[in-house]
Structure 1
Amino acid sequence: MSPGSAETEARLEQLRDNLGGVHARIARGCAEAGRDPAGVTLVVVTKYFPASDVLLLHRLGVRHFGENRDQEAGEKFREVRQALSDAGRPELTLHFIGQLQTNKAAHVAGYADVVESVDRGKLVTALAKGAHAVDRPLQVLLQVSLDGATTRGGVLPENAPSLADAVAAQGLLDLRGVMAVAPLGADPDEAFARLREVADGIRARYPQADWISAGMSGDLEAGLRHGATHLRVGTAILGSRPSLL
């Protein structure tokens, strides 16, 4: 889509409407939970969507973006950052939110600002090595498994404190809190209440680790009820995943 084209303007208005709807849901959810919406960061998940959508969302005021595939994210956000830099509007925070292979960690540490999926000691070591290679600090969240399984990523709640210690021991890794996905078919309120318990325990040891990334398009209200500071929303803003990507 070329800037200023009818197609671009139509997409911009679609994103504006969808973004407004999500912000309204956040405002209602915060009101019901007795919270200030200013304390909630919306991370728009742009995986499978083109750089042009990222740039349109940036025009609409979005500054936090989420990706979960290394190759796609690295290429897309090089293009995005260059375009924003050329326009004199470089402000952007990229969250890597997907399960991350150890052999790709150093590469991700070179371009992501936040990694939300830290779930094992080997990954901590690999991310720290990557951060030191580019002399660039990296904010990290511990991904917590809320269903007792780790095959889909996530540290078990009882092992989260020791993993937090491992992150805190690394010079360029900044432990900011926890992240989780509500298990499929589970009550998100129960899941996020458990996450809040884990978050509280880690924050008691590391006061700066006060982020809770919980809640997506279908359950963001439950996340807000249980202290989510960050919401990861894709479909409700961008629509269905493109069929050709």
Structure 2
Amino acid sequence: METIRVVQTRIETAARASGRDGVSVQLVAVSKNQPDDKIDAALRAGLRVFGENRVQEAQKRWGRHHAEGRRALYPDMSLHLIGPLQTNKVRDAVALFDVIETVDRPKLAQALATEMQAQKRSLPCFIQVNTGDEAQKSGCSVADVPDLLQFCRDLGLNVTGLMCIPPVDVDPAPHFQLLRDLSGRCGLSNLSMGMSADFETAIAYGATHVRVGSALFGAR
């Protein structure tokens, strides 16, 4: 897929411009709502990290119970949950995903910790931060991040970073800077921020993970 090469080149260029190596930025291919043929082509082209928004949709595409499924064919792949998670879906999410990027409240953190212990899985987690304080959007408020992080740590959750989705149609740079500064104060090294329209800006502000869909696969 030519689009993969183009996006990877853009990532490497943006990383070098900020004094970093391109390998310090993980491309998370957003596969939600994309047709299977495009996902299979991406896998054949070498992509191994994918992001899904919904547990049920992800189960259909990536379910571990399919002996001949994609997870069996590509055992080195990693699946990130990048959409809101309801507590009644936690069991399925822990069984399927390799990284949970959307921890945003104590109730969810508690459910994840309990289920990970039951399944004997310790998944890296990100706290999702609602940097724009948007009522309709998931995410912990900026002010509540330190308390939620400590709550997660007390539970034994492996929180490795922060994630955000800036408001639409605004300059994302202040939101990326806010998340970077917050991660520094919290002692976290990973930043999941930046999508197809703004991932290069996110890299300039320290993104370690960029979630790219349409630039790779075209409009859904």
Instruction: Please show how residues 1-245 of structure 1 align to structure 2 within 5 Å.
Output: 16-78=1-63, 82-84=68-70, 87=73, 89-171=74-156, 173-203=157-187, 209-241=188-220
- 22-31 or 45-54: which moved more? 45-54
Q: Could you tell me how far apart the structure 2 residues matched to 1:33 and 1:85 are?
A: 35
Q: Could you tell me how far apart the structure 1 residues matched to 2:185 and 2:47 are?
A: 31
Superposition RMSD in Å: 1.7
Q: Could you tell me how far apart the structure 1 residues matched to 2:164 and 2:88 are?
A: 23
Q: Could you tell me how far apart the structure 1 residues matched to 2:61 and 2:148 are?
A: 31
Q: Could you tell me how far apart the structure 2 residues matched to 1:180 and 1:86 are?
A: 31
Assess, with a 3 A threshold, how the Cα gap between structure 1 residues 192 and 44 changes in structure 2: closer, same or farther. Answer: same
1:116-141 per-residue CA deviation (whole Å, 9 max, x = no partner) reads: 11110001011112212211111110
- Cα offset, 1:148, TM superposition: 1.9
Question: Identity of counterpart residues, as a percentage?
Answer: 36
What TM-score, normalized by structure 1, do the two folds share?
Answer: 0.84
Amino acid of the structure 2 residue aligned with 1:94: L
Q: Could you tell me how far apart the structure 2 residues matched to 1:148 and 1:90 are?
A: 38
Q: Could you tell me how far apart the structure 2 residues matched to 1:131 and 1:57 are?
A: 30
- Cα offset, 1:54, TM superposition: 2.8
Q: Could you tell me how far apart the structure 1 residues matched to 2:127 and 2:136 are?
A: 15
SS for the counterpart of 1:191 is helix
Q: Could you tell me how far apart the structure 1 residues matched to 2:78 and 2:134 are?
A: 30
CA contact under 8 A between 2:126 and 2:160: conserved in structure 1? yes
- Cα offset, 1:22, TM superposition: 0.5
Amino acid of the structure 2 residue aligned with 1:174: N
- Cα offset, 1:175, TM superposition: 0.7
Q: Could you tell me how far apart the structure 2 residues matched to 1:81 and 1:137 are?
A: 23
Across the two proteins, how many residue pairs are aligned to each other?
A: 219
CA contact under 8 A between 1:50 and 1:76: conserved in structure 2? no
- Cα offset, 1:56, TM superposition: 2.4
Is there any run of 5+ residues in structure 2 with no aligned partner, and where? none
Q: Could you tell me how far apart the structure 1 residues matched to 2:72 and 2:125 are?
A: 29
- 149-158 or 109-118: which moved more? 149-158
Amino acid of the structure 2 residue aligned with 1:27: E
SS for the counterpart of 2:127 is strand
Correspondence for 1:8: none
Amino acid of the structure 2 residue aligned with 1:218: A
Is there any run of 5+ residues in structure 1 with no aligned partner, and where? 1-15, 204-208
Assess, with a 3 A threshold, how the Cα gap between structure 1 residues 81 and 19 changes in structure 2: closer, same or farther. Answer: farther
CA contact under 8 A between 1:217 and 1:236: conserved in structure 2? yes
